Amino acid sequence: MGFANCSAHALWHEPLPRTLEWMRCPSCGHVHNRSHWTDAGLTEILGKADAGLPAHFLGSLDDRRASWEPVVHKVTELLGGHRALVNRETRPMWVDIGCGDGTLVMTATDHGFAAVGLDIRANTVALIQGLGVNALQHDFMALKFEVAPDVLSMMDVLQQIPYPREALRKAAQVLRAGALLVVSAPDLTSSSWKAMEAAKVNPYWMEIEHHHHFGRERLIALLRECDFEIVDFAVPNRYKAQMELYAMRKP
C-alpha cells in the first residue's frame, strides 16, 4: 500500500527506522505491516514510552475512569446485570491485557469485579500499583492462567500484537464457555477513518506501535474463527475511528 513516515511520532527516536511499510492481503483484505519489532526495537520503544509516563499519570483519573463506565456497564449487562453480579458468592474476575494507566481496572473494581491488569512495562505496572491498582507485569501470550476469568479485555491492544490470531486463540483457551472478551481497535471502514483519509490527516498510518489495521467485518470474522460469538458492538469516543466488540466464548 505504501510507506508512512513515523519520525514525527512521539515515541520515535534514533536508531528506529523512519518509515512503516503497509500492505494489504489480496485474499482477505487485511491491512498489516511488512515486519514487526525485534526485541531490541521493542525495548527502544518502551524505553521512550516509560520516559513519558509520569506526566501522563498526572492527568485526571476521574475523567479517564468515566470514559470506561460504558464498557463496564455493558459487560455487567451481558453477565446478567448488577443484581446477578452482587449476589454471586465470589466476585467475577476481569483481566485487562495491556492495562496502561489502570483506569479500566479501577472502574471494573469499583463495580464489583475482582479486576487485575497485565502489562509488559515494568514502570507502568509500578506506577499504577502505587495508586492501589491490582496489576502484574506479564506478557499475556507467555502467562499460564490457573483460574479462568469471567472477562478478558484487550483495549487498543490487538493491533499492537504481531500475530493477533494467536492472541485470540489464547484468549479462547483461557476463557470458559460463556465468558466475555472485549476488544477495541481503530476501524478502517468507519466514517471517521474515511474522513481522515479524505483530509489526508490520518495519524494511524504513522502509529509506531501498530502492526495491524482492522476493518469491522475482518475483526468479526477473526473472532468467529477463534470460537467467539459476537454479542454486542459499540462506537466509543475515547479515540477517533474506534470500534468496540463484545464477544462470548462459544461452548
Nearest to 181 by CA among 161, 160, 157, 162: 157
pTM of the predicted protein model: 0.93
* pLDDT for the residue numbered 167: 97
Lowest mean pLDDT among 16-30, 76-90, 125-139, 160-174: 76-90
C-alpha cell recorded at residue 21: 511499510
90 burial (CB, 10 Å; 0-12 / 13-18 / 19+) is: exposed
Lowest mean pLDDT among 33-42, 53-62, 174-183: 53-62
pLDDT band at 84 (very low <50, low <70, confident <90, very high): confident
Dmax (CA) of the chain: 55
Is the model's pLDDT at 58 over the cut of 80?
A: no
* pLDDT for the residue numbered 47: 78
Q: Are 81 and 48 contacting, i.e. CB atoms less than 8 angstroms apart?
A: no
Rounded CA-CA distance 123/109 in Å is 22
pLDDT in tens, 1-40: 999 999 999 888 898 999 999 999 999 899 999 999 888 8
Lowest mean pLDDT among 45-59, 74-88, 211-225: 45-59
Please tell me which residue, 217 or 124, carries the higher pLDDT value. Answer: 217
What are the structural domains of the chain? 60-249 (3.40.50.150)
Write the DSSP string, 7-66.
Answer: TTSTT--TTS-SEEEEEE-TTT--EEES----HHHHHHHHHHHHHTHHHHHTS-HHHHHH
* pLDDT for the residue numbered 171: 97
Q: Are 137 and 199 contacting, i.e. CB atoms less than 8 angstroms apart?
A: no
* pLDDT for the residue numbered 106: 96
pLDDT in tens, 104-154: 999 999 999 999 999 998 888 998 999 899 999 999 999 999 999 999 999
86 burial (CB, 10 Å; 0-12 / 13-18 / 19+) is: exposed
pLDDT band at 55 (very low <50, low <70, confident <90, very high): low
Q: Are 162 and 36 contacting, i.e. CB atoms less than 8 angstroms apart?
A: yes
Sign of CA dihedral 147, 132, 73, 195: negative
Please tell me which residue, 223 or 10, carries the higher pLDDT value. Answer: 223
First to last CA, the chain: 39
Rounded CA-CA distance 121/98 in Å is 9
* pLDDT for the residue numbered 89: 85
C-alpha cell recorded at residue 228: 467467539
Nearest to 237 by CA among 103, 67, 44: 67
Q: For 81-108, what is the mean pLDDT?
A: 91
